[in-house]
Structure 1
Amino acid sequence: MAVQIPRGTQDILPGTSEKWQYVENRMRDLCRAFNYSEIRTPIFEQTELFQRSVGDTTDIVQKEMYTFEDKGGRSMTLRPEGTASVVRSYVENKRFGLPDQPDKLYYIGPMFRYERPQSGRMRQFVQFGVEAIGSDDPSIDAEVIALAMELYSSLGLKGLKLVINSLGDKESRENHKQALISHFKPSIDEFCSDCQERLEKNPLRILDCKKDKDHPLMETAPSILDYLNEDSRRYFEKVQAFLSQMDISFEIDPGLVRGLDYYNNTAFEIMIEGEGFGAITTLTGGGRYNGLTEELGGPEAPGIGFALSIERLLMALSAQNVELPVEKGLDCYVVTMGEKAETEAVSILWDLRRKGLRVEKDYMQKKIKAQFKAADRMNAAYTVVIGEDELQSGEVSIKKMSDGSQEKTAIADLAAYLTDKTGRE
């Protein structure tokens, strides 16, 4: 029996990988403009990292992690999300001691969650994430949100909707927690087992439950906005003011809680509505996580960030029929005639490729006609025929495939000619 790809994973093949490269390059360019630097962390970490940061009551930790015991008997987990690893690295490498704070970082890499595979939700998926650690200035919250919005809009997506909320500081959250416990406790036996377990530990997670989302008590649950103290309220108002200053529209949703325990104060999601999605679909989410560095053994260093699935981003682009300006085709296809030409073509291609040109030749001993057909299939901008006569004269004819026009140039000048015509540098 043939070996098949594991369930919930995918092969990203040529023709599709170029789209991945384009959006990843756009992410890197945008992060450069916002002065965020790339960080690369291990694909697996100690299980304790995610238990302490993501939270024992979350679905991720309870149900979805790929956890294994290594040969030393240590519990290891394939990373299910990126923030915990970035903050662990920030603490371990003492980046809190750098003179320029906040430490502005981004990552692109695979994450792993054991869940039922479905459209836009894989067991191995690729996340792009941004983290700004070391500042509790509300303007950095607005900056992180603006970066996420600009990524989507710059790629051509329409119908974007930004939803924000405040989860409050520690005092506000504790007061809200007690109100939620009082609200749900009399009828908690009507809720799923997960919600019953979370009631005392983290009742805010009940609001994020997918099984009980239609329960009547969900509609009447106390709003966090009614429990914000003055500091939290003022902070949230400043975030809103900065977003408005950048002409970024938003809606406030008191029910937005996010799924991870480390969030507090600002929380946000970016959604999209349009053909191919039906209902509004969440593209990304994030928020502030003051206290996470201390939980992982570091000093006080408040942070904020977001993460998005590149798979879901590409789905959104496809659903809206957005054509990415992915570079396709060859600059030149070198057609060879005769054994000597085939031999000389190796050094000619080597020279052209070293000049940054995308070129190809035949490796299957095809006839001339078949080579030209291959040039057409590969969408070559130009073709060059090299045979005995061309090698003796040192001159070749270059055919422009779009209109069939031809010009001559010396073989020695071929790279310069193609570089000029294709705009390569």
Structure 2
Amino acid sequence: MKEKIQVVRGMHDILPEHSPRWRNVEAVLSEALSAYAYEEIRLPIVEKTELFKRSIGEVTDIVEKEMYTFDDRNGDSLTLRPEGTAGCLRACLEHGLLHQVSQRLWYIGPMFRHERPQKGRYRQFHQLGVEAYGMAGPDIDAELIFLTRRFWRKLGLDQRLQLQINSLGTVEERQAYREKLVAYFQQGVNFVKLDEDSRRRLHSNPLRILDTKNPDMQEVVTNAPLLPEYLGAESLQHYNAFKELLSDSGLSFVENPRLVRGLDYYSQTVFEWVTTELGAQGTVCAGGRYDGLISQLGGKPSHAVGFAMGMERLLGLLESSERISARANPHIYLILVGEQAGRSGLTLAERLRDEFAALRLQVHCGGGSFKSQFKRADRSGAEFALIMGEDEVRNRQVGVKSLRKEAEQIAIDQDELMSYLKSAIWK
């Protein structure tokens, strides 16, 4: 016997028992996005590698270590998307969506990074991304926060997530801060405390050192210079106005001067929604402003802000929630015994689906005895069984049996079945 082929490490199947929860959550998110007039855009999974090198930065961990990159048959270097912002902006520029108009867009789908797999971090993972283009003020930054808060309220998570915010300032302000930060970490006693990853990042991406999870480095990071101390008047005005809008809406937040983003294109506002319930992978949603990226990808300078939300982490928080059902069981299981019942039953099932648009009806296929079919009906989780055998076909009747309550099976004339279901079952 040939050895079974297993799923690729770090990638996972979403089985039928879990997929209804995904669909239900996606429906909640889509409904909230529509309430804010955001429109869906669907993007390719594969992009030219150059797109991510130019947007994310060639000296980031993502480009250097984590991207799934390959040459196609034409010799072009292609990459499975590691994040969605660059592809979304590429599409907007390519199709002229930003020409003298603002845009509010969202997308959802798989992303790919070759990281060490662990709970909450996979090599194929799913993200909801939301992007807003062409708006300069802090009002659109705040709107994105209000939108995410509405997600949490609809999902029953509003008491389980904390909002953290910071400002990265302009590119020039961040460069001045970066020089001070590098000088601080290069001091002998401080440099000794840096781990291998931090030493490697020291000159390429020193801000990421502030985001370390290494407990042995907390003291040296805590004493490092703070970015807000290097913000200019305009950056502070934007940041303070943003905070006022959040406070005016009654939204609580924590200012975290160590909060940075892992990608080079962010500036000004950054934020994260975090939880303590998922261990080390506690960031469920993160984003911020990235005004410089549009010109970096060949467009006219403009404004951009957005966020990405990890679906696996969000679903992990919802595992114990009663608000989002894990599985949509059928309402009715149709038991069919005998050739004639099989033929008549399929026709009846189509009539029922036509009559009741939201009905979940599972028809037994493949034959079997009444006993074996009743066992399958019970395992399906259905509320009721409809039964058709030779006697029912001959008498033009259908048996009705509750599978979840103690009640006698009854026989209903087929012509009266629709009315009975409307009054007794499908209320």
Q: Does 1:3 align with 2:8?
A: no
Distance 1:412 1:172, change over 3 A: farther
Aligned mate of 2:259, from 237, 242, 256: 256
Q: Does 1:241 align with 2:236?
A: no
Task: Give 1:331 shift.
Answer: 2.0
Q: What is the aligned partner in structure 1 of residue 404 from structure 2?
A: 402
User: TM-score, normalization: structure 1?
Assistant: 0.91
Q: What is the aligned partner in structure 2 of residue 292 from structure 1?
A: 293
Q: Contact between 2:20 and 2:325, CA under 8 Å: does it hold in 1?
A: no
Instruction: Using the TM superposition, name which of 395-404 and 48-57 deviates more.
Output: 395-404
Task: Give 1:116 shift.
Answer: 0.7
Q: Which runs of 5+ in 2 are unaligned?
A: none
Task: Give 1:284 shift.
Answer: 1.9
Instruction: Using the TM superposition, name which of 369-378 and 404-413 deviates more.
Output: 404-413
Distance 1:237 1:405, change over 3 A: farther
Distance 1:421 1:240, change over 3 A: farther
What is the rounded CA distance, in whole Å, between the counterparts of 1:98 and 1:62 in structure 2?
A: 36
The DSSP-based 3-state class of the residue aligned with 1:380 is: coil
Q: Contact between 1:351 and 1:415, CA under 8 Å: does it hold in 2?
A: no
Distance 1:325 1:196, change over 3 A: closer
Q: Counterparts in 2 of 1:238-387, with a 5 A limit?
A: 238-274=241-277, 277=278, 281-318=282-319, 320=320, 322=322, 324-326=324-326, 328-355=328-355, 356=357, 357-387=359-389
Task: Give 1:86 shift.
Answer: 0.7
Letter in 2 for 1:149: R
Task: Give 1:200 shift.
Answer: 4.2
Q: Counterparts in 2 of 1:130-169, with a 5 A limit?
A: 130-157=130-157, 158-169=159-170
Task: Give 1:267 shift.
Answer: 0.6
Aligned mate of 1:223, from 218, 221, 226: 226
Deviations 1:100-134 (A, max 9, x none): x2x11111100000011111111111111111111
Q: What is the aligned partner in structure 2 of residue 93 from structure 1?
A: 95
Q: What is the aligned partner in structure 2 of residue 37 from structure 1?
A: 39
Q: What is the aligned partner in structure 2 of residue 418 from structure 1?
A: 421
What is the rounded CA distance, in whole Å, between the counterparts of 1:421 and 1:292 in structure 2?
A: 60
The DSSP-based 3-state class of the residue aligned with 1:342 is: helix
The DSSP-based 3-state class of the residue aligned with 2:65 is: helix
Deviations 1:387-425 (A, max 9, x none): 34433443434333333256654424534543565558x
Distance 1:138 1:321, change over 3 A: same
What is the rounded CA distance, in whole Å, between the counterparts of 2:339 and 2:322 in structure 1?
A: 46
What is the rounded CA distance, in whole Å, between the counterparts of 1:67 and 1:328 in structure 2?
A: 38
The DSSP-based 3-state class of the residue aligned with 2:98 is: helix
Instruction: Using the TM superposition, name which of 327-336 and 2-11 deviates more.
Output: 327-336
Letter in 1 for 2:207: L
Letter in 1 for 2:302: A
What is the rounded CA distance, in whole Å, between the counterparts of 2:5 and 2:202 in structure 1?
A: 45
Q: What is the aligned partner in structure 2 of residue 58 from structure 1?
A: 60
Distance 1:159 1:177, change over 3 A: same
User: TM-score, normalization: structure 2?
Assistant: 0.90
Deviations 1:196-219 (A, max 9, x none): 554444432332345697064422
Deviations 1:77-116 (A, max 9, x none): 10001111111111111111264x2x11111100000011
Deviations 1:283-329 (A, max 9, x none): 221111011111111122211111121111122223x5555235532
What is the rounded CA distance, in whole Å, between the counterparts of 1:213 and 1:284 in structure 2?
A: 26
The DSSP-based 3-state class of the residue aligned with 1:366 is: coil
Deviations 1:172-198 (A, max 9, x none): 223222322332334486445654554
Instruction: Using the TM superposition, name which of 299-308 and 415-424 deviates more.
Output: 415-424
What is the rounded CA distance, in whole Å, between the counterparts of 1:345 and 1:291 in structure 2?
A: 62
What is the rounded CA distance, in whole Å, between the counterparts of 1:386 and 1:253 in structure 2?
A: 65
Letter in 2 for 1:259: G
What is the rounded CA distance, in whole Å, between the counterparts of 1:197 and 1:72 in structure 2?
A: 35
Q: Counterparts in 2 of 1:166-177, with a 5 A limit?
A: 166-177=167-178
The DSSP-based 3-state class of the residue aligned with 1:126 is: strand
Total equivalences in the alignment: 419
Task: Give 1:358 shift.
Answer: 1.7
What is the rounded CA distance, in whole Å, between the counterparts of 2:31 and 2:61 in structure 1?
A: 34
Q: Identity of paired residues, percent?
A: 41
Q: What is the aligned partner in structure 1 of residue 116 from structure 2?
A: 116
The DSSP-based 3-state class of the residue aligned with 2:375 is: helix
Q: Does 1:205 align with 2:208?
A: yes
Q: Contact between 1:172 and 1:232, CA under 8 Å: does it hold in 2?
A: no
